[in-house]
Structure 1
Amino acid sequence: MKKLLAIGFVLLLGACGFRPLYEAGGSSAAMQQHLAGVEVAPIADRLGQQMRNRLLDRLNSGGTPQYRLVITLAQESEGYGIRPDAAATQEQLTVFAKVQLINLNGETLVFEEDMRATTSYDLVLSDYAILSRREDSARRLVLELAERIHRRLALHFTKVEPAP
């Protein structure tokens, strides 16, 4: 009975046009060519460098650039969990990324999207520990955003005609 349900589910997904983003066709040479044609513009600050390096690794850049990816990062932190002495016990860190994909043939904006990622961490008595946690949290957030940007680009290119 379970086998019949599983087969029915797979057939139902196929009938509605579902296809995995990273299937054999999704990671085809055409998709790789599209992703390799994305030039990642420099991003300000150390976090920007980390994000750019992750994107360059994921995109396998090196082809002839047809698109430019422009990213602007910002971060914001807010304390909460207030103790009786008015000191915060936790901090929430949010990293914002404004993402623009520009077609180099005519300098047209292909898409623009605002993304954000949030995490929180405990505040302790050691200033060094707080700084270390804040930096580590920010690094993890920009790497997460880089993965989301990569997936967003792949999703965009599945809707575009095949690469030349």
Structure 2
Amino acid sequence: MRAVALLAAALALSGTLSGCGLRPLYGGGPNGAVRSTLAAIEVAPISGQSGWLVANALKDRLDHGGTARFRLDVTLDDQITGLGVKRDDSVTRERRILRARYQLVDLANGNVVLDATAGSDAGIDVVGSEYATIAAEQTALERLSGIVADQIVARVARYAQTAPGAGNP
């Protein structure tokens, strides 16, 4: 009996959501505006190790498989700063910050249709083992690369959903 009441409540609430203006981002499936736009983006080479990681993360998420209509240009700023300092001036904690400025360029006319930034940071404990600290810095960079790529793809997807004619080949 309780399951029936919960189902009825869920159906009633779903009816109210349709009037609030929410639309699924990937509505239309593989042929929708967002998926077709994301599949038509090529990622320009990004310099450095962090650039390689972000570029690969972007390529994995964009699933470029056809003719490119857009190019994604990304410039990264990767910094590690020491935070916790002991009396002997040794660092006990670091902060790794990865910031990206990216532009989506329409290849038909060379216009920049989206210019935005993304970024994230991670805290790293500096331990007695130099190897462990380097491994933690590398792990943080890999994780941050995925986070920044997710932010970029989400923003480009919102652009594709709202831009007039962006998803039409």
TM-score (norm 1): 0.88
Q: Which runs of 5+ in 2 are unaligned?
A: none
Cα RMSD between the aligned structures?
1.8
SS at match of 1:28: helix
- Asked if the contact 2:97/2:119 (under 8 Å) is kept, the reply is yes
Q: 1:127 maps to which residue? A: 130
CA distance in 1 between partners of 2:139 and 2:55 (Å): 17
- Asked if the contact 1:33/1:63 (under 8 Å) is kept, the reply is no
Is 1:65 matched up with 2:68? yes
What letter is aligned with 2:95? Q
CA distance in 2 between partners of 1:7 and 1:138 (Å): 43
Q: 1:29 maps to which residue? A: 31
Q: Which runs of 5+ in 1 are unaligned?
A: none
Q: 1:19 maps to which residue? A: 23
Q: 2:168 maps to which residue? A: 163
TM-score (norm 2): 0.86
| Aligned-residue offset at 1:88 | 2.4
- Asked if the contact 2:94/2:125 (under 8 Å) is kept, the reply is yes
Is 1:118 matched up with 2:126? no
Superposed counterparts of 1:100-115, under 5 Å = 100-115=103-118
Is 1:151 matched up with 2:154? yes
Which moves more between the two structures, 146-155 or 106-115? 146-155
- Asked if the contact 1:98/1:114 (under 8 Å) is kept, the reply is yes
Which moves more between the two structures, 110-119 or 7-16? 7-16
SS at match of 1:35: helix
Q: 1:89 maps to which residue? A: 92
Q: How many residues align?
A: 162
Superposed counterparts of 1:74-85, under 5 Å = 74-85=77-88
Q: 1:56 maps to which residue? A: 59
Give aligned-pair identity as a percent: 31
What letter is aligned with 1:18? L
